[in-house]
Structure 1
Amino acid sequence: MTPSSNRLQRITQSAPKWVQGLMPLLALLISVLVLYLTWHFYQGFLISAPFNWTDWIQPALMTLGAFLGLLAAVLLFMQRREGWDVLTASLSLIPTVLAWRLILVVSAWLSSLGGGGNGSRMSISLLDTLIIIMAGAGGAFALWTKYRRRST
């Protein structure tokens, strides 16, 4: 067996065989559950008006993660190594969604401090959008440099 560069695969390889066999099924079940919960929680929210541009990002990220999980489950059922990388990408969207929610909370809080409304429905200005993009790009660059240093 060749050594793997994927940490999730290395951890699972040291587990008993029955746990390794459950990973594709677990990925499949969690992905289906995330798709169902995304539909259940955001169905009425996305249909209602007014539709703010920030409203679609979290459900889109959750749906993307679920579809990546389904793809990972298929690849893991076929015992392909790429399945572990896809599963890792799917799981990495969890902190991305949490970071997005944190950015929205901070933006809403700053908007309410500046008299941006009653706080019930947030509207983000162009300046807020640029600040969010710059913060996200800075965080992505910091993670990339950390990963690059660790891999060399």
Structure 2
Amino acid sequence: MTRWLNDDEQRSWRAFAQASRLLIDRLDRDLQNEAGMPPTYYELLVLLSEAPQRTLRMSELARWTRSKPSRISHAVNKLEQSGWVRREHCEGDRRGWLAVLTDEGLAALQVAAPIHVESVRTRLVDALTPEQFRQLGEISQVLLDHLTKSD
């Protein structure tokens, strides 16, 4: 039997769904317009910048971004064309590939990061009180734990 949403649940769900889509759209648009970088590329550069030796297996990038390997391969191809990433074979694994963040890629990330952070601050953090933002973090962690547990 379907457990339909009551009026309060329906209002909350719709507000959350619309706000989430609109927030991501605005953050993505700000990053693209101000830094000339698609959000997927930004995410990959951040992951690589935080990895030891600025290097991750392609399969790890796919896992972290919850993307298909073919999508990551396409994105890394574009990043290679920009000179921001290079690929290397994994030692001892003929089929494995590594993505390595280049100095040029790190420089591009250093330009884009303040733009992205300002966008997050303006569009999300500053719109909430510190207590609301803390609650958002707690709620988001509960959802993340629940959703990743069910995968």
TM-score, length basis structure 1: 0.30
Of the two structures, which has the highest relative contact order with CA contacts closer than 8 Å and spacing of 6 or more? 2
Q: Which structure shows the higher helix fraction? A: 1
Q: Which structure shows the higher strand fraction? A: 2
TM-score, length basis structure 2: 0.30
